[in-house]
């Protein structure tokens, strides 16, 4: 009969410690209790037990097993001292490594001439003149398999006639080491686990087109310059950067506007990731327009820029403000107005959480434990 400690919930309370999850982080004392329960199950009749090795990872199980001994009572006697010149003899056969434990007490009023314990042919213990209330006790460890004999002799004139008898309390035990056989076994289990997966989405938001018309210098009723703030809604996510593109004004179709937005997004991605996607925004070759960017947040301008487009990565060490910069446009012409379109892209990252089940194989190392009766 083989038992796995993970499936012994039907056992008594002492076996309820077998739940792996409850003891994944057991302290040493808990792990000792696990080993104690394992040993008790074996002594109660289980042929072998499979114990996950992580349940006892903080204990040297081989050393721990050495502390276990099995005790058998060989004798628990109340006898009278011998008479007629015949000694009392009790012989027991013990194996190598077993311990012979003895306790002999004189409960009567009279002495016993001699008590001896002999291992094979060798006298190990000898006590003469064993008086009233004397106690002789101790242990003998056997180095080799042998017979151990307790001799009680009371060979004298009066004792041989049956006089002056005394009572003896004799207790003899055999203490045997319990030998365990252990084998390391591995098992591969297919498991499933629910996890939360985090995906980082990068969002490229192009603001609505800003159609700008700037009066010439000689038109004193209108300003010949304009300052446009770049505003960033901080609550949209983790702000990464921004870019602008100023193009000549045209009566574009909605399809054309969509295409311009796509181009600006691709340009922003190219500059943010520093991966050349071959995106080139059209240049604005109009000497009438002066373009200045007041980048007071010290955002880092990327390498691919022109006077009418640029992309800026934010400096994370600086406190983020909603107003990132001002783009200032001025008309250098005295008589001709300037009409341009301003496109602005804002880039954010945002976390998305997904529940996901992953399947995997896990190798469980276990210890197969049994009694070694050989």
In order of their start, the domains of the chain are 2-67 (no CATH), 70-177 (2.60.120.680), 197-354 (no CATH)
The reply to whether the predicted model has a pTM over 0.75 is no
Residue pair 68/92 in contact by the 8 Å Cβ criterion? no
Alpha-carbon distance of 30 to 55, in angstroms, equals 9
Alpha-carbon distance of 106 to 130, in angstroms, equals 7
Alpha-carbon distance of 135 to 153, in angstroms, equals 16
Residue pair 47/1 in contact by the 8 Å Cβ criterion? yes
Residue pair 367/183 in contact by the 8 Å Cβ criterion? yes
Helix/strand/coil for 193: strand
Q: Which of 290, 309, 307 is nearest to 224 (CA)?
A: 290
Residue pair 171/363 in contact by the 8 Å Cβ criterion? no
Q: Residue-wise over 70-83: b if at least 16 C-beta within 10 A, else e?
A: eeeebeeeeeebbb
Q: 3-state SS of the chain: helix, strand, coil percent to 5?
A: 15, 50, 35
The tens-digit pLDDT sequence of the chain (374 residues) is 444 444 333 333 333 334 444 444 447 888 888 888 888 888 787 888 888 888 888 888 777 777 778 888 999 999 988 877 778 999 999 998 889 999 999 998 888 889 999 999 999 999 999 998 999 999 999 989 999 999 998 877 566 566 678 889 999 999 888 888 888 888 888 989 999 999 999 999 999 888 999 999 888 888 999 999 999 887 777 899 999 999 988 765 556 668 889 999 999 999 999 999 889 899 988 889 999 999 988 899 999 999 999 999 998 877 778 899 999 999 999 999 999 999 999 999 988 899 999 998 988 888 888 887 76
Residue pair 38/59 in contact by the 8 Å Cβ criterion? no
List, for residues 157-201, the tens digit of each pLDDT value.
566 566 678 889 999 999 888 888 888 888 888 989 999 999 999
Cα radius of gyration (the chain): 48
Helix/strand/coil for 259: helix
């Amino acid at each position: 009969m083989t038992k796995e400690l993970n499936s012994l919930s039907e056992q008594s309370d002492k076996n309820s410690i077998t739940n792996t999850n409850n003891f994944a982080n057991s302290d040493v004392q808990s792990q000792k209790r696990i080993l104690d329960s394992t040993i008790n199950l074996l002594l109660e009749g289980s042929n072998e037990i499979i114990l996950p090795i992580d349940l006892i990872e903080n204990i040297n199980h081989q050393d721990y097993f050495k502390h276990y001994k099995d005790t058998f009572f060989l004798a628990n006697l109340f006898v009278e001292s011998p008479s007629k010149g015949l000694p009392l003899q009790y012989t027991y056969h013990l194996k190598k490594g077993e311990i012979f434990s003895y306790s002999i007490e004189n409960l009567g009023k009279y002495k016993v001439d001699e008590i001896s314990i002999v291992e094979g042919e060798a006298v190990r213990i000898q006590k003469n003149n064993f008086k009233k209330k004397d106690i002789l006790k101790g242990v003998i460890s056997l180095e080799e398999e042998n017979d151990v004999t307790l001799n009680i002799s009371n060979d004298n004139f009066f004792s041989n006639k049956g006089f002056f008898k005394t009572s003896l309390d004799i207790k003899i035990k055999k203490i045997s080491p319990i030998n365990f056989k252990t084998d390391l076994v591995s098992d591969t289990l297919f498991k499933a686990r629910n996890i939360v997966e985090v995906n980082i989405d990068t969002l490229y938001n192009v603001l609505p087109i800003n159609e700008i018309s700037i009066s010439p210098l000689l038109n004193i009723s209108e300003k010949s310059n304009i300052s446009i703030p770049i505003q960033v809604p901080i609550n949209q996510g983790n702000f990464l950067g921004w870019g602008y593109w100023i193009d000549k004004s045209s009566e574009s179709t909605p399809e054309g506007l969509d295409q311009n937005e796509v181009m600006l997004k691709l340009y922003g991605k190219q500059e943010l990731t520093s991966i050349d996607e071959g995106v080139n925004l059209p240049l604005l070759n109009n000497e009438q327009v002066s373009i200045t960017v007041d980048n007071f947040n010290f955002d880092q301008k990327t390498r691919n820029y022109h006077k009418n487009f640029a992309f800026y990565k934010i400096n994370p060490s600086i406190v983020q403000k909603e107003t990132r910069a001002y783009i200032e446009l001025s008309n250098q012409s005295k008589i001709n107005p300037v009409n341009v379109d301003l496109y602005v892209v804002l880039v954010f990252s945002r976390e998305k959480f997904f529940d996901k089940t992953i399947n995997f194989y896990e190798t469980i190392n276990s210890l197969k434990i049994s009694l070694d009766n050989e």
